[in-house]
Structure 1
Amino acid sequence: MSRTDRDPFAPASPLPAAAGANARARAHASDPGTRRRRTLAVLVLIAALGGDAWQSLLGWPAFVVLVAALAAACLVSLVRGRSTRTLPLARYSKPLAAFLVLCTVSLLWSHYPGATLLGVLSQWLTAIAGFFIAVSLSWLEILRVLGTALRWLLGLSLLFEFVVAVFVRHPVGALWLLAPGQKPPPDYQWSEGNLFNGGALQGIVGNRNLLAFLVLLALIVFVIELVERTRRPLPSILWIGVALLEHALTRSATVLLATIGVGFVLAVALVIRRVPVNKRLVVYPFGIVGLLGITIFTLNLSDQLFPLLHRGDNLTGRIEIWNTVLNLAWQHPVLGWGWVSYWAPWAEPFKNLIVIDGTVYLQAHNAWIDVFLQLGLVGLFVFSCLIAATIIRSWWMAVDRPGPVVGVETPYQAVALLPLLLLAALIIQSLTESRLIVEGNFLLLVLLASKVKLDPLPLGPPPRAVR
């Protein structure tokens, strides 16, 4: 039956069906098992998206134990859940599975098998957590747990910076040690106490770019929550204000440009929603030209923007990093050196590969170059297929009208834009950071790639339409 066919056994009015669906949703939300899954999802997101904070606070050994425990809890929930047992193989994301398998089999040709084993284990633990959230929660529940996790991260960041600025009154170094007797570089400060002196805010993650990216994710989630009315309006508006304040205080040039890019994607999606399906092919070229124009404009703007934010116009040395990594990648261009995710500082060729001002860099600062280095052209192709498939499904979800309720057309939902906007932010950041293939960003990629395949459209009326 097509999406527009009417069910002959459905009620004549959509309101009783909508009210029944709303009642079932309330009953589902009050179920103890559902509450436990949502709580676990919030803990997983806080640990993954704020990984640098817990590494700085607890140290790497304790952080590894925390990650393993959360992943084990997710795996137990998946095994005990009925949804995974009845899920056909066709509903899984095949590009995602192919990428994970390729990372694993790279053990066969890895130049650093011990580091690859650790990287593969980390990748699978992260993937299990992301898949757990995708399978266990609906889109509205995912929106809510993301909002809760990001509120904690932004709130703790502001509180942390306030304590350092008011009570400590001097820079605070990270507590973790990379190895016994080895201290972080002198210029690596967990917080510089810049809340009131006009300097860049770093938050609990210890880096203004990472905090600014969390703020960008939060703005996407908080605004959608406000439109969908899944939370009360006043707290939503206040948290949007907090996010905007932290965005300004981080003074991150790269995330400012990413925010412009996400805004452009949102504008194009909203325009496409108003265009009849048979005329959309005419509009797409204008969107592509506009995207290229925005890219050229921001690249030219960076020459003036970056110095104003006390940043170099070469993306803080990233061009030199990219050249070094590409020269290394072309030594094994087909299958790469072997998967490792974060570079292992004790293994060749990563040992002292990139050292700038005494700081050892453990990533290529570009996810695509990092994939090319570790998995070669084969891995780059598989990774590109994963991103492309997720983009296409997210785009369809964002611009296609949801299915009718008992034959009556329903309005567009704001939550349908969530995967597209999150993915746009992730991809834009992947051009200057390798975070897309590690920790919280990879978890979000797994979550989105799995969920848009499992549940491509939010069905039924949005919460604000149900009285």
Structure 2
Amino acid sequence: MTLPRPSAAARDAAVAVLGSSRFTAALTSTAIGAAFFSGLIRGLIGWPGLVGVLAGLVLLSVGSIIARREYIEWRGLLPISLIVFVGWTMTTILWSQYQWATLGGVGYQFAFTVLGVIIALGRDPIQIVRAFGDVLRVVLGVSLALEVFSGILIDTPLRFLGIQGDIASLGPIQGVMGSRNQLGLTALIALVTFGTELFTRSVSRRLGILSVVAAAVTLALTQSPVSVSVLAILGLASFALLGLRRMKPDRRRVAQVGLLVVTVSAIAAISYYRARVVAFAGLGTEVRYRDTIWHQLSERISAHPLEGWGWIGPWQLELQPFHAIVVAHAARPPSALNAFIDVWFQLGVVGLIAFLVLIGLAFVRSWIIASQHRSRAYVWLALVLVTLVATSLAESVILTEYAWLTLVVCCVKAADKLSWRQRLPQ
């Protein structure tokens, strides 16, 4: 039995729907929402439900980009650094110590990669900022509502969502993100997004100010020392970037070099006086906990230094060697709590170099564009990358789900303006 082929009219109607700007906008917001709400979706309907949602979004996104293929600039479609890194994660299936888990981890990451690429190709920067803003307002609103429900109305933790119900004592809260550090990172991205909306006047002043206040309150209630530290870095980066934008081109080049020297010197000084900085910031417990994990990982990295143990993304604690990473009197860590060490552990030196190149190129490109492009929306790319990279020193979240999708969007959008392949003839 052969199925009837769709008529030309039906195909034209499907192309018209998939290629419409309204459908693209709705699909963008839905994909971003699925990334930020992935923990909530998984808690409510399990892994099969989340995988089904992602598969449907990927299919619709591919159909949308095909329908709009005539409007896409295909030169330099993807940054080579992104292709190399994702390609290396796939290659590790060949020698992984947990091949089926690696296959699942690669597929999971690839789904968010596709969604991030298509969002970046299909929307301009201000549309991307607006889409993230709309989604993040919902994420923060739902998180605060569930915290109030759990901690005040029923006074019972919602353990299947990771909510402890401590809002009555002013935190720490976890919201729908699963942990206070994850919610803190989300609030930081929201601060950058809402601030950019105000900066570009893409929303009303009242909505923008209320959104910023909600993000700030959420960040304070997380009581996340990691996010507070990143907030200080983000504040300095914002001040420097806005100052650069106001300079004339010739003075801006000199200032960029000076800023680079100051930044490298500051990093070197902090590294040298690490113990004093940690004590002054009150991060002793957090740092000792992470040092214990990193020491155990260093012993296992030496077993597969070049190629790594195999990609898995989020750790599966029932598998070796993740099951053996233990901190006394504490639950097993959900990750290496450092994206760079996590990549080194899973992908070896080759993967770490590819990841550093990916992050470095994305950051340099986005910073240059943000400091000199007339559109204020490009500031969002640079500041979001500052937030993600700074958080990566204490969390591995940038490697998966919403943070990975956000990184891919920033990476592709920055390369769209500064990729060397843009100079090639059509």
Whether the TM-score (by the shorter chain) exceeds 0.5 is yes
Paired residue type of 1:435:
V
Q: Structure 1 stretches of 5 or more lacking a match? A: 1-30, 176-189, 403-411, 458-467
For the aligned residue pairs, the C-alpha RMSD in angstroms reads: 2.4
Residue number among 66, 74, 91 corresponding to 1:105 in the alignment: 91
Percentage of pairs with the same residue = 29
The alignment status of 1:173 with 2:159, answered yes or no, reads yes
What is the aligned partner in structure 1 of residue 148 from structure 2? 162
Cα displacement (A) at 1:206: 2.8
CA gap of 1:119–1:285, structure 2 versus 1, over 3 A, is same
Q: Structure 2 stretches of 5 or more lacking a match? A: 1-17, 420-426
SS at match of 2:166: coil
2: CA distance, partners of 1:32 / 1:77: 5
Cα displacement (A) at 1:289: 4.9
What is the aligned partner in structure 2 of residue 439 from structure 1? 401
The alignment status of 1:391 with 2:367, answered yes or no, reads no
The alignment status of 1:51 with 2:23, answered yes or no, reads no
The alignment status of 1:80 with 2:67, answered yes or no, reads yes
Structure 1 or 2: more helix by fraction: 2
Superposed, 1:248-259 pairs within 5 Å as 248-259=220-231
Cα displacement (A) at 1:285: 4.8
Deviation per residue, 1:110-167 (Å, 9 max, x gap): 2221111111111211110101100111111101000011001000011111111232
What is the aligned partner in structure 1 of residue 377 from structure 2? 415
CA gap of 1:88–1:40, structure 2 versus 1, over 3 A, is closer
SS at match of 1:209: helix
Paired residue type of 2:317:
P
TM-score (norm 2): 0.87
Q: Kindly indicate whether the alpha-carbon contact (under 8 Å) linking 2:35 and 2:405 is maintained by their aligned counterparts in 1.
A: yes
Of 122-131 and 59-68, deviating more is 59-68
Deviation per residue, 1:360-380 (Å, 9 max, x gap): 323111111111111111111
What is the aligned partner in structure 1 of residue 54 from structure 2? 67
2: CA distance, partners of 1:452 / 1:286: 23
CA gap of 1:233–1:32, structure 2 versus 1, over 3 A, is farther
The alignment status of 1:134 with 2:110, answered yes or no, reads no
Cα displacement (A) at 1:319: 0.9
Cα displacement (A) at 1:89: 4.5
Paired residue type of 1:337:
W
What is the aligned partner in structure 1 of residue 322 from structure 2? 350
1: CA distance, partners of 2:266 / 2:219: 21
The alignment status of 1:271 with 2:227, answered yes or no, reads no
Cα displacement (A) at 1:292: 5.2
SS at match of 1:444: helix
What is the aligned partner in structure 2 of residue 450 from structure 1? 412
2: CA distance, partners of 1:38 / 1:455: 22
What is the aligned partner in structure 2 of residue 198 from structure 1? 170
Deviation per residue, 1:6-39 (Å, 9 max, x gap): xxxxxxxxxxxxxxxxxxxxxxxxx982121111
What is the count of residue pairs matched by the alignment? 399
Superposed, 1:275-286 pairs within 5 Å as 275-286=247-258
The alignment status of 1:287 with 2:290, answered yes or no, reads no
Cα displacement (A) at 1:53: 2.5
SS at match of 2:377: helix
SS at match of 2:176: coil
2: CA distance, partners of 1:247 / 1:347: 34
What is the aligned partner in structure 2 of residue 35 from structure 1? 22
CA gap of 1:319–1:427, structure 2 versus 1, over 3 A, is same
Residue number among 425, 428, 433 corresponding to 2:390 in the alignment: 428
Q: Kindly indicate whether the alpha-carbon contact (under 8 Å) linking 1:164 and 1:171 is maintained by their aligned counterparts in 2.
A: yes
Deviation per residue, 1:328-347 (Å, 9 max, x gap): 11211111112111223333
Cα displacement (A) at 1:316: 6.1
Cα displacement (A) at 1:351: 2.6
Paired residue type of 1:441:
A
1: CA distance, partners of 2:123 / 2:114: 14
Deviation per residue, 1:43-100 (Å, 9 max, x gap): 211221232222223322322222222222222222332158x543434200001111
TM-score (norm 1): 0.80
Cα displacement (A) at 1:290: 4.1
Residue number among 351, 360, 363 corresponding to 2:332 in the alignment: 360
